[in-house]
Amino acid sequence: MAKIKPSKGAPYARIMGVGGYRPVRVVPNDVILETIDSSDEWIRSRSGIATRHWASDEETVTAMSLEASGKAMADAGVEPHQIGGVIVATVSHFQQTPAVATEIADRLGTVKPAAFDISAGCAGFGYALTVAKGMITDGSAEYVLVIGVERLSDLTDLEDRATAFLFGDGAGAVVVGPANEPMIGPTVWGSEGDKSDTIKQTVPWTDYRDGTVERFPAIRQEGQAVFRWAVFEMAKVAQQALDAAGITADELDVFIPHQANMRIIDSMVKTLKLPDHVTVARDVETTGNTSAASIPLAMERLLATGQAKSGDTALVIGFGAGLVYAATVVTLP
């Protein structure tokens, strides 16, 4: 019986560089209030969101990804020809096939990398990061580009009082490469499909195509059910990720949760009993909920503003439609 040779990958993987792109247009709550009966005070108190970015026609999923990826590769000191994999996490690229990752890889000047998309909602970045880590450690790639990108303004019903103010657009990217010590911890991930109705697209694309419905599909969610699940169940997952990495809350430097809602973030901080010295990402205030892009965008801003620094230990957790989730501890680039 023939034996398969062991892989020659690196013993560990790490995030080497990060980049982000936010569309030029900044949309304050006043614009949202033109189509829903609400108030700036109500939106801020319920979500913590004051502004969000909406993409122009030119700021496509591909265009935003290229901007973020270029910054991430420059930050990592990695050239396009060194990239062996491109993974794009998104739910808002409307061309079903081919994967947008293939176009991005080509336009970046990479040389025949593995390239594919992942649809895992707001946990997409965590899923993609975990896959990239596996590619590095099994030797199938030396460097992998992970992109989280969304144009959720295309999937927003501006007349839905419960969701019209939530979503924004943008792209975040990281380069994952080899390491000689653990710098990306074990991932705690999973799904709860029995709760899939709490966050979902209103109707299938085929209903719109066939004229069964007149309104373009949009994202709907049951706010209270999602809030309870995120606060109570995801805090448990976050703690499991800390335990899996052998890290205590006291040893943590930074907490980067999915930027869904400021109340969810603050409640998770309280439930996890994070010490005051832990820097908490609150990018949602000016960026809104950007789904798969939210964690890398928040990471990039914390590092750019000096609120976090290279070498800090960070807990990241994404959670959303599916319902799916992914949490891990990383060393910041």
The first and second tokens of residue 218, run together, are 């949009």
Q: How many angstroms separate the CA atoms of 250 and 219, rounded?
A: 37
53 is catalytic: no
- Alpha helices of 77-115 — where are they, by DSSP H? 100-108
Contacts of 31 (CB under 8 A, 6+ apart): none
| Chain Cα centroid distance, residue 243 | 22
Strand 199-201 relative to strand 219-221, pairing:
antiparallel
Which amino acid makes up residue 221?
Q
Are 171 and 65 in contact by the 8 Å Cβ rule? The answer is: yes
Q: How many angstroms separate the CA atoms of 165 and 161, rounded?
A: 8
Identify the DSSP state of 91.
Answer: S
The first and second tokens of residue 238, run together, are 């976050």
Are 151 and 22 in contact by the 8 Å Cβ rule? The answer is: no
261 is catalytic: no
81 is catalytic: no
User: Of 29, 53, 93, 258, which is the active-site residue?
Assistant: 258
User: Of 29, 93, 122, 261, which is the active-site residue?
Assistant: 122
Q: How many angstroms separate the CA atoms of 251 and 191, rounded?
A: 28
Q: How many angstroms separate the CA atoms of 74 and 81, rounded?
A: 13
Residues annotated catalytic, as ranges = 122, 258, 289
